[in-house]
Structure formats: C-alpha cells, structure tokens
A and B are shown apart, each in its own frame.
Chain A
C-alpha cells in the first residue's frame, strides 16, 4: 500500500473513531487499535504507540473545557494519578514480557467490558456523608449544574478506588488505551463520585496516565511518526465534531447501542485473532 493511501485510510478511520468516541464517552483508542491491526495489518506495537498519542490529544483537548467549567475535581484527579501513573509504568514494562497474541486477547476482554459499561444505567444519587480519608485528603467537592445550582458531594472508600486506579493504569500502559471505563468504575461505583464529576475527572487524568506510558514507548521506538500523524489529527478532528453534535442533541442512547455492538464485534475479532495466532 502506498504511503498516501495508507495515510488517508487511517485519517478517515481515526476521524470516525474520534467522533464515536466523544459521542459515547468511550475513548477513540478502542476503535483505532482494531482498525490498524485487523484492518491494515499494522503490528500491534505500532498500533498501541499511535493510539496512546491520540488518547493524550483528545483527553487534553476535552479536559481543557471541563476544567474551566469547574466540574472536574482536580484534587481527586491529582491524588488518584499517583495510582494510575505507577500502574501505567508497570503496564508499559509488562508489555515487553507479554506476547502480542496475549495482549490482543486482553484487549478484546477490556473492549467487551467497556461496551457493557457504556450501556449501564447511571446512579444519580449524591452521597452526603464524608469518609475519614476523603476529609483528610480534601476530596469532597461541589460542581455547578446546568441551572446554576451548586451540588455538594462526599466521597467514600478512597482505598478501594486507589487500588482500582492502579489496575486501570496497568491496563492503560499495557494496551495503549485511556482505560476510561475502568477509571469511571473506580470513581463512580467504588468511591461514589457523582457521574458528571467522575467522567470529566477521568478525562482529565487520562492524559497524564497516557503520558507516563508514552515516554516509555517513545524510547522503545513504538511511536512511528508516519502512523501517529494521521491518527492524532483524525481523532482530534472527530472528537471536536462529536462535542459540537453533543451540545445540540441529547439522544445519544441509540448511538451507545450502535457503538457497543461495533466494539463487541471488534473485540471478538481481536480475541479470535489472538487465540489463532494471527496477530
């Protein structure tokens, strides 16, 4: 395949990955890696490198907006980044020891998990009690709603959330994805951070987690500029379009289903290719 054709295919594919990713709240990485490996026969190491770079771009881009609005809880983000960056470092090291087919299978399993997570109903009750550690670490906070009200919230089970974040970091470093769905589980289900805060704080953290593993991958030569270029540009443009559409519509319900089905099919293929040794 010529360089021009390959670049254009990746650019268009990445655009749609970014678009779907921002509309459904799942990262673009979950589409990029199957597109590059299964669709274009790119070695999974190069695919992981390119995907990780695109994750940093979209995370930083969207986090910029949420931070300004004051929804992101910077203290929770900063504290849990101790866990995610440590995990990312371990994951990036592990990726050297683990064979490509095994990585493909783990990737497939995480994809299916992400798809299920995106369909889950959200619990909207806000916790008012404060745990000892949450108080000590000043993690309790407040966020503004659309009507200008300020909602105060408390946090629980800081330790459990921390351990889950360590795991999210390992997966992120190993697979080159943001592992946003795992981060949201840690904050949403375990620590009971309100949904709006947990998704935006997860987005804020993803950039730092990904940067920690990206420096390792950069030094190992996983990040090929000719592949990363169309991926980052495509994903970022797609995410920008997605955020514009999202402002003007509320009905992303059916889209979540479409995306979950696509992701599950991709996951099945990754697992099959991994098990049959095609990757």
Chain B
C-alpha cells in the first residue's frame, strides 16, 4: 500500500466527488420532473390513504423510459430517484477500483461482496 502512488487520500477525493455529483444531478432531474408534474396536475385531488402501488409508467424501467419520452413529470422524477439510489452503488464500484489500484485485495473482495448483496436485492425484489 505504501509503495503505490495512489493512496487512500486520492480515493477519498474521488469518492467525495462521485457522491456530490450524484446527488446534484439526481436532484436536478427530480426538480425538473417536479415542475412538469405540478404544472399539469396541481389542482387535482389526491389520496394516499390506501396502498395501491404506483402506476405502471413509473414502476417498470420500460414504462419510465416511455414516460420520459412523452415528457411525463412523474416518470422524470422517478428517473432522478433511480439516479439517486444508484449514487451509493456507484460509490461502491469506485471503492472496488480504488482498492484494486492499492492492491488491497482483501478489501476488493469485501467491496465486491457488498455489491453482490445489493445486486441480489435487485434480483429478488420482484418475487420478495
């Protein structure tokens, strides 16, 4: 670890940047979607007392994609939220690369294990 040029401090700087950029970009997308959504639906009445799940165009990835193409506010917000959820996951991937450059293989393994747990959450979520 001491012999390499790449150090923990470099990794800290990069990860700090990833987190900041992720939050900024996703908030911008959520805000744009929010403005569009409110400009169309602001006077409608809404009730969240009963749990019904969310409509299809903000639930499935193809639905969100088509929703964005149609300029639907809630689909854009949901895309921003997905970016936000992806930010910490992206942070893990960058840590794995960082530990790899440091040749700290124990921590490459630990980082990949965490990533594997999150991926299994993605895969089992539907059936769960």
Contact call B38/A4, Cβ cutoff below 8 A? yes
Indicate if A93 sits at the interface (CB-CB under 8 A): yes
Number of residues on chain B facing chain A (CB within 8 A): 66
Interchain nearest-CB distance for B69 vs A (Å): 16
Contact call B48/A224, Cβ cutoff below 8 A? yes
Q: Which residues of B contact A225 (CB under 8 A)?
A: 33, 37, 54, 58, 74-75, 77-78, 81
**Contact flags (1/0) for B43-55 with A, using CB distance below 8 Å?**
1111111110110
Contact call B125/A74, Cβ cutoff below 8 A? no
Contact call B114/A85, Cβ cutoff below 8 A? yes
Residues of B61-118 contacting chain A, CB below 8 A: 74-75, 77-78, 81-82, 84-89, 91-92, 95, 104, 106-107, 110-111, 113-114, 117-118
Q: A67-B19, A70-B12, A85-B121 are in contact. Are A78 and B84 (CB under 8 A)?
A: no
Q: A92-B121, A212-B117, A212-B118 are in contact. Are A53 and B84 (CB under 8 A)?
A: yes
Q: Which residues of B contact A65 (CB under 8 A)?
A: 16
Q: Which residues of A contact B82 (CB under 8 A)?
A: 218
Number of residues on chain A facing chain B (CB within 8 A): 66
Which 9 A-B pairs give the minimum distances between C-beta atoms? A221-B53, A225-B77, A207-B88, A4-B42, A219-B125, A68-B16, A64-B19, A216-B125, A43-B51
Beyond A4-B42, A86-B117, A225-B74, list 19 extra A-B contacts (CB 8 Å): A2-B43, A2-B44, A7-B38, A42-B48, A43-B50, A57-B26, A57-B84, A72-B12, A81-B114, A85-B121, A92-B128, A138-B104, A211-B85, A211-B118, A219-B122, A222-B53, A228-B77, A232-B27, A233-B30
Could you list 28 examples of A-B contacts with CB < 8 Å? A3-B43, A4-B42, A42-B48, A43-B51, A46-B51, A53-B84, A57-B26, A57-B84, A70-B8, A78-B114, A82-B113, A86-B117, A92-B128, A210-B88, A211-B85, A211-B87, A211-B118, A214-B85, A216-B125, A220-B125, A221-B54, A223-B54, A224-B58, A225-B81, A226-B41, A226-B74, A229-B37, A236-B27
